[in-house]
Amino acid sequence: MSQHRVIVVGGGLAGLAAAVRIAEAGTHVDLFSLVPVKRSHSVCAQGGINACNEVARQQGYSEYEHFDETIYGGDFLADQHPVLEMANWAPRIIDLLDRMGVPFNRTGEGNRDLRLFGGSLFKRTHFAGATTGQQLIYALDEQVRRYESEGKVFKHEFQEFLWPVMEQGRCVGIVAQDMRTMHIRAFRADAVIMATGGCGLVFGKSTNSIICTGAAAARCFRAGAWYGNPEMIQVHPTAIPGADKLRLMSESARGEGGRVWVPRKAKDPRAPKDIPESERWYFLEEKYPAYGNIVPRDIATREIFDVCVNQGMGVYGENQVYLDLTHKDPEYLTRKLGGILEIYEKFVGEDPRFTPMKIFPAVHYSMGGLWTTYTKGSYNPQTALTKHKSGSPAPIDAKVGQGMQLGAVNNSMTNIPGLYAFGEVNFAYHGANRLGANALLSCIFDGLFCGVSVLNFIRNEAPGKNPAVDLPAGAYDAVVQQETAKMKHLLDGAKPANQDASTNPYMIGKELGEEMTAACTVVRTEARLKQCLGKLAELKDRYSRLRLADGASWTNQSFGYARSVGDMLVLAEAIALGALERRESRGAHYRSDHTGRDDGNFMKTTLARHANGVTAVEFVPIDASLILPTARTYGKKDSSPNAAAAPAMASAAS
């Protein structure tokens, strides 16, 4: 083993994949996580993981088409080369997971089964029941446990990342706090990988786990890391409303034949089974005959939102539509979707195999994140090609290294040398909208592919000559002092008698979530976003006078939450600012006062920077040299509740 150490912050798919890759190369990994890594938010991913496969390939599909779908699905906002490399790697990643023992669903012959997912006409989604994320993270958790047993990985669980440590212009470690003992200390490293996921809690209730505050990313942002496309927040079309969170109903429910509908008569009081077929409005199937219910997420979300909020056609007059699987064989549903249907039954009390589910959109995923860079690979056509025609031969094969150069030290590195961002916490792959079942892929791809870049960085760049272990203690001590002072400030005067709601962290967090959900989700306008920024300023002011009810110096959970609220406020401001300045509509970002896509001004990355407490955004060019942008319509047609009954649902290309 070398004397080098790498810190991985976050034990979800991206973090674990990175840890495995780096540990197997003989470099020591310190893995930090708020929770035992097996409980990370990746467990919530349900539907599957996309990759070109042999069946689809023989029907005309290719890695290149997967790449093209991802760019088109993301509404041409992503830099294109990294996406190409990810699509080319996808089949290899599935094979690796298969070797690790992931119980992928199987066909009669014992091959990996496939399902249809949003944004594709080919079956290219691999799955393990309806808990694919859980199964993938368990496989990686097991591999990490193996390296932990061999002493190559050390897990620091229940440790909260507080701040990166910078010295000589590069990141040389972190400061973290034990959530139980409250002890704050510095950890040295030759490179730090942030793999800390999304920021759903900024919106209060979302489909995210309770730990997905985005605080870790916000702290890097505050420390000088750039943030890309903060306004690109995916609102998932189908979630189950709840008092504590909005639980995801996987896109696979639609992929397996689920039909979205409302009664053609507003506020129809009848039970769904009593409404005949001709009096049901299958609005997605009517408006999008080619894709039907499997249109991408932002489109499905806006259509559901429009039907309920603008047209007042929601089921029983409330903000909800039916997601109906009752026409399918119950045994088939149990086999293919058992896990997610069980969640619905458990939390709503109705069996979706016999009663249509009632669902509504919820904040789900952050396409935006810490800004990262890369080195282009060998595929650089003289002119960008027109959009790929589905099922036609691919212009290139799937050789590794065409999209990104394998091992280049800057792949998925932030603007701070030595500080990397992997998985949902970066902005790299999904543009303005993520396709279903591409998230798990991007996490594992980052870990495996860019993990090699981290290894090369510590060998060949500054840490090679000047490892962190030899650096002076000054920079580390300074950050420990900064964080200790921050804690003292928050805990000062904390006592149960504090009861002013305006300075209660939970109230500030709740109001933040409500405001962001109202102003920054499905439909955005300049006026509302400006109002939102005003509200954020008010919340920041109240936050500065925050009073805690618990002053304990042992396992003080409300203190941890309160500190995160301060970071969420910073991230919220970047989201609202990006949404305000992006005066167009693209992917998940829909401005009712600027409904068209404006490639001339905004086919650019929103780059947010934070300095001296002030966030500013600008738009910087992207590299779109592989595919020319086209209108992203998914073949939309007109439809209204009074039109004739819907045509049959479009079938897959298979």
Interacting positions 469-508 with other proteins (CB under 8 A):
496-497, 499, 504, 506-507
- Residue from the set 177, 196, 209, 366 that interacts with other proteins by CB under 8 A: 209
Pick the stretch among 124-132, 563-571, 597-605, 622-630 that binds other proteins (CB under 8 A). Answer: 124-132
- DSSP, collapsed to helix, strand or coil, labels residue 524 as strand
Q: According to the binding rule CB under 8 A, does residue 104 interact with other proteins? A: yes
Q: Out of 1, 3, 26, 95, name the contact with other proteins by CB under 8 A.
A: 95
Which positions ≥6 away from 589 have C-beta within 8 Å?
231, 232, 432, 524, 579, 582
**Contact track, other proteins, 375-404, x by CB under 8 A:** ------------------------------
Give the footprint of other proteins on residues 22-41 (CB under 8 A). Answer: 24, 35-36, 38-41
Nearer to other proteins, 208 or 585 (CB): 208
Assess 44 for contact with other proteins (CB under 8 A): yes
Q: Least distance to other proteins from the beta carbon of 139, Å? A: 8
Residue selected from 58, 243, 611, 614 as contacting other proteins according to rule CB under 8 A: 243
Q: According to CB under 8 A, which residues from 580 to 619 bind other proteins?
A: none
Site for other proteins in 161-190 (CB under 8 A): 180
Q: Give the nearer residue to other proteins in terms of CB position, either 344 or 457.
A: 344
Among the listed residues 297, 302, 586, 597, the single catalytic one is: 297
Q: Shortest approach of other proteins to residue 90 CB, angstroms? A: 12
CB of 496 to other proteins, least distance (A): 4
What does the alpha-carbon distance between residue 603 and residue 367 come to, in Å, rounded to a whole number? Answer: 15
Out of 32, 67, 138, 422, point to the residue binding other proteins (CB under 8 A): 138
Of 494 and 572, nearer to other proteins (C-beta) is 494
State which of positions 245-274 bind other proteins (CB under 8 A).
245, 247-248
What counts of helices (H) and strands (E) characterise the chain?
Answer: 18, 21
Tokens 């070797």 label which residue? 99
Q: Min. distance of Cβ 651 from other proteins in angstroms?
A: 23
Q: Which of 26, 183, 270, 334 binds other proteins (CB under 8 A)?
A: 334
Q: Which of 2, 59, 105, 466 binds other proteins (CB under 8 A)?
A: 105
Of residues 522 through 551, those in contact with other proteins by CB under 8 A are 549-550
Instruction: For residue 558, give every residue at least 6 positions away whose Cβ sits within 8 Å of its Cβ, in sequence order, or none.
Output: 505, 506, 548, 549, 550
Annotated catalytic, 5? no
Residue 576 in tokens: 């609202």
Q: In the numeric block, which tokens belong to residue 452?
A: 């090699």
Strand ranges, E, within 146-303: 153-157, 159-167, 170-178, 184-188, 191-194, 227-228, 233-240, 247-248, 259-263, 280-281
Closer of 126 and 388 to other proteins (Cβ): 126
Query: What is d(CA 133, CA 470) in angstroms, rounded to the nearest whole number?
Result: 40
Spatial neighbors of 582 by CB under 8 A, at least 6 apart, are: 231, 589, 591, 602, 606, 619
Q: Which helix (H) or strand (E) holds 340?
A: helix 330-348
Phi-psi group of 484: left, alpha or beta (phi > 0 → left; psi -120 to 50 → alpha; rest → beta): alpha
Q: Decide: 112 and 104 in contact? Cβ < 8 Å.
A: yes
- Residue with Cβ nearer other proteins (366 or 504): 504
Q: Which of 129, 230, 356, 513 binds other proteins (CB under 8 A)?
A: 129
Q: Which of 1, 3, 26, 106 binds other proteins (CB under 8 A)?
A: 106
φ/ψ of 280, rounded to 5, equals -110, 140
Name the minimum Å distance from CB 167 to other proteins.
31
- In eight-state DSSP terms, residue 385 is B
SS3 247: strand
Binders of other proteins among residues 46 to 75 (CB under 8 A) are none
511 vs 204: CA distance, rounded Å: 8
List alpha helices for 206-317, DSSP H. Answer: 215-222, 252-255, 283-287, 297-305
Q: Could you say which of 310, 545, 554, 612 contacts other proteins (CB under 8 A)?
A: 554
Nearer to other proteins, 353 or 364 (CB): 353
Please give the residues from 420 up to 449 whose contact with other proteins meets the rule CB under 8 A: 448
Q: How far apart (Å, rounded) are the C-alpha atoms in residues 176 and 485?
A: 14
The vertex-182 CA angle with 180 and 183, nearest 5°, equals 120
Of 175, 313, 343, 468, the one binding other proteins by CB under 8 A: 343
When asked if residue 330 is in the footprint of other proteins (CB under 8 A), the reply is yes
In this complex, which beta carbon is closest to other proteins, that of residue 113 or of residue 526?
Answer: 113
Among 6, 43, 87, 313, binds other proteins (CB under 8 A): 43
Query: Which span (105-113, 284-292, 358-366, 596-604) binds other proteins, by CB under 8 A?
Result: 105-113
What whole-number distance in Å separates Cα of residue 581 and Cα of residue 579? Answer: 6
Closest listed residue to residue 214, CA positions, set 605, 509, 482: 509
Contact between 109 and other proteins per CB under 8 A = yes
Nearer of residues 155 and 222 to other proteins, judged by Cβ = 155
- Binding residues with other proteins: total (CB under 8 A): 87
Instruction: Indicate the residue among 96 and 458 with the shorter CB distance to other proteins.
Output: 96
Closest approach, Cβ 430 to other proteins, in A, equals 22
DSSP string, 76-138: T-S-HHHHHHHHHHHHHHHHHHHHTT----B-TTSSBPEE--TT-SS--EE-STT-HHHHHHH
Q: How does DSSP assign 634-649, residue by residue?
A: TT-----TTSPPPPPP
Binds other proteins (CB under 8 A): choice among 55, 57, 146, 373 = 146
Cβ atoms 574, 221 nearer than 8 A: yes
Asked if 353 interacts with other proteins (CB under 8 A), we say yes
C-alpha 249/C-alpha 258 separation (Å) is 11
| Binding span for other proteins by CB under 8 A among 220-228, 302-310, 345-353, 421-429 | 345-353
Sheet of 170-178: strand order equals: 159-167, 170-178, 184-188
Among 331, 465, 474, 595, binds other proteins (CB under 8 A): 331
Applying CB under 8 A, which part among 19-27, 310-318, 464-472, 619-627 lies near other proteins? 19-27
Give the Cα separation of 284 and 421 in Å (integer).
36
Q: Which is nearer to other proteins, 274 or 331 (CB)?
A: 331
Nearer to other proteins, 407 or 464 (CB): 407
Q: Is 223 or 507 the residue whose CB approaches other proteins more closely?
A: 507
Residue 129 beta carbon to other proteins: minimum distance, rounded to whole angstroms: 5
Strand partners, 607: 228, 618
Q: How many Cβ atoms from other residues are within 10 Å of residue 271's Cβ?
A: 9
> Would you count residue 558 as binding other proteins (CB under 8 A)?
yes
Q: What positions carry a catalytic annotation?
A: 297
